[in-house]
């Protein structure tokens, strides 16, 4: 087969001084940071849907993307060619992982049986390419949002038949993820929400979603799939309200329905900002619950209220992300998955390289900066000192559960007023961060 990207060879690390736009300035895969290679810290992943299925169409205009290897038909041959092109791209880029939805890789047939057969045919090619290149599957997932049958939801549909269809689809998607040695599997509730409460039994829908996930957990055990399950929060779009709206809502749902421990969170930057949070907030919330799993690395446009899925280039953002990820002990099964798409105007194949190289360099810098901040120690020391009243005496007693309202009342009555609290020093700390950027 002729090459999809004949003008590009393997992207190399050339260092910060290079003017070569097809080289890394900061991502040096084998460089050791804090005892681990950058490759193992960052675990970059390329998404199949935006990068190999995105065509640049929007509600106002036709597709723009030029993809010479793709005739845009639904044939299996086209799907096979696309796999070869995808792996050529990921291999030249030097990303160790990829991620896909079942329907990104293989076309739907007229029945589920036919669709599953199509999927099997393409999984065979994916497996071949994984073996040829050493590229691994970060996670698989099922598209439970594109087909009209899912317009009212999948696991939260008002129609029990649709729930059954979704279950059968996820069963198959988990099987192929297992077959491909996937490190994880993602549940993103693309239609699990509502457009109006007037027609919605919210309590029942949430219970159904929980039942669905419990069945998935049972099935995972049954087939011996050891990959990590994740749930991916997003507050809105496509529905007006999505049940998995943000990290805290997901954690509450998992706890309420006995699913904690079975699923971690896959957090996406643009979803965090749509929920009115910073990405670092979402990461901290997940980490505090021991549920920080993986990251869909992208960024939104704060001027726009939808999921623009742009490539991350903001060093301040990547630094904040890496500070929290390093503090939480780094990725185990998860990674930095570029759930991001090139702009409609960036329609040439080469733009896919520029976009990913930029995202990888931005996170590599974030990693180096975060590691330097941690090594320097002043930030952590400030936070430690700020809470030092909890390390001994009264604070220690409260934390260890040895106190009570009566005891505290007695203590403060005797003292008359609390001791002064030190300055929060926000500006000082912001300046400190900038020292490293």
Tell me how far apart the alpha carbons of residues 77 and 87 are, in angstroms, rounded to a whole number. Answer: 16
141 binds, among Ni ion, ligand XLS, none (CB under 5 to 8 A by kind): ligand XLS
Binding mask 97-116 for ligand XLS (x = CB under 6 A): ----x---------------
Which residue among 104, 175, 268, 282 contacts Ni ion (CB under 5 A)?
268
Nearer to ligand XLS, 65 or 323 (CB): 65
Q: Are 325 and 42 in contact (CB under 8 A)?
A: no
Q: Are 265 and 247 in contact (CB under 8 A)?
A: yes
Main-chain phi, psi angles of 268, to 5 degrees: -120, 130
Q: What is the CA radius of gyration of the chain?
A: 24
Is 104 a catalytic site residue?
yes
Binding mask 213-252 for Ni ion (x = CB under 5 A): ----------------------------------------
Binding mask 336-365 for ligand XLS (x = CB under 6 A): ---x--------------------------
Main-chain phi, psi angles of 47, to 5 degrees: -90, 140
Task: Answer whether the bond into residue 342 is a cis peptide, omega within 30°.
Answer: no
Binding mask 267-306 for ligand XLS (x = CB under 6 A): -x---------------------------x----------
Nearer to Ni ion, 89 or 187 (CB): 187
Instruction: Select from 205, 302, 289 the least CA-distant residue to 244.
Output: 205
Instruction: Select from 279, 295, 283, 297 the least CA-distant residue to 333.
Output: 295
Which residues have a Cβ under 8 Å from the Cβ of 63 and sit 6 or more positions away? 55, 56, 57, 72
Q: Determine, following the binding rule CB under 5 A, whether residue 175 of this chain makes contact with Ni ion.
A: no
Q: Determine, following the binding rule CB under 5 A, whether residue 296 of this chain makes contact with Ni ion.
A: yes
As to burial, measured by CB atoms within 10 angstroms (0-12 exposed, 13-18 middle, 19+ buried), residue 436 is: middle
Which residue among 104, 192, 339, 361 contacts Ni ion (CB under 5 A)?
339
Nearer to Ni ion, 108 or 237 (CB): 237
Q: Are 142 and 169 in contact (CB under 8 A)?
A: yes
> Which residues would be at the binding site for ligand XLS (CB under 6 A)?
101, 141, 186, 188, 232, 234, 268, 296, 307, 339
> Which residues would be at the binding site for Ni ion (CB under 5 A)?
268, 296, 307, 339
What positions carry a catalytic annotation? 101, 104
């Amino acid at each position: 087969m002729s090459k999809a990207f004949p003008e590009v060879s393997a992207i190399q690390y050339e260092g910060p001084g290079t003017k070569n736009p097809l080289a890394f300035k900061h991502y040096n895969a084998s460089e050791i940071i804090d005892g681990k290679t950058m490759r193992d810290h960052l675990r970059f992943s390329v998404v199949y849907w935006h990068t190999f299925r995105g065509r640049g169409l929007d509600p106002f205009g036709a597709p723009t993307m030029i993809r010479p290897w793709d005739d845009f038909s639904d044939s299996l041959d086209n799907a096979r060619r696309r796999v070869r092109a995808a792996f050529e791209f990921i291999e030249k880029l030097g990303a160790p992982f990829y991620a896909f939805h079942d329907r990104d890789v293989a076309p739907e047939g007229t029945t589920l049986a036919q669709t599953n057969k199509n999927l099997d045919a393409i999984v065979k090619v994916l497996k071949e390419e994984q073996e040829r290149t050493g590229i691994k599957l970060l996670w698989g997932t099922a598209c439970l949002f594109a087909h009209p049958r899912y317009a009212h939801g999948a696991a939260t549909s008002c129609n029990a038949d649709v729930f059954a269809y979704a279950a059968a689809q996820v069963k198959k998607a988990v099987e192929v993820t297992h077959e491909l040695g996937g490190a994880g599997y993602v549940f993103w509730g693309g239609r699990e929400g509502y457009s109006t409460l007037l027609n919605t039994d919210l309590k029942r829908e949430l219970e159904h979603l929980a039942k669905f996930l419990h069945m998935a957990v049972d099935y995972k055990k049954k087939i011996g799939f050891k990959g990590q399950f994740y749930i991916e929060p997003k507050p809105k779009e496509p529905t007006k309200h999505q049940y998995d709206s943000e990290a805290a809502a997901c954690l509450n749902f998992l706890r309420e329905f006995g699913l904690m421990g079975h699923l971690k969170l896959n957090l996406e930057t643009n979803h965090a900002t749509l929920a009115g949070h910073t990405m670092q907030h979402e990461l901290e919330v997940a980490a505090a619950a021991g549920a920080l799993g993986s990251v869909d690395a992208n960024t939104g446009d704060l001027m726009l209220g939808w999921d623009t899925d742009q490539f991350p280039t903001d060093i301040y953002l990547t630094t904040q992300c890496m500070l929290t990820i390093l503090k939480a002990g780094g990725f185990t099964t998860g990674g930095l998955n570029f759930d991001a798409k090139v702009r409609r105007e960036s329609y040439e194949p080469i733009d896919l390289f520029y976009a990913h190289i930029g995202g990888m360099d931005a996170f590599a810098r974030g990693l180096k900066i975060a590691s330097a901040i941690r090594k320097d120690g002043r930030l952590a020391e400030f936070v430690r000192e700020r809470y030092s009243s909890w390390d001994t005496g009264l604070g220690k007693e409260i934390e260890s559960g040895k106190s009570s309202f009566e005891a505290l009342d007695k203590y403060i009555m005797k003292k008359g007023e609390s001791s002064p609290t030190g300055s929060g020093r926000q500006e000082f700390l912001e300046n400190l961060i900038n020292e490293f950027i």
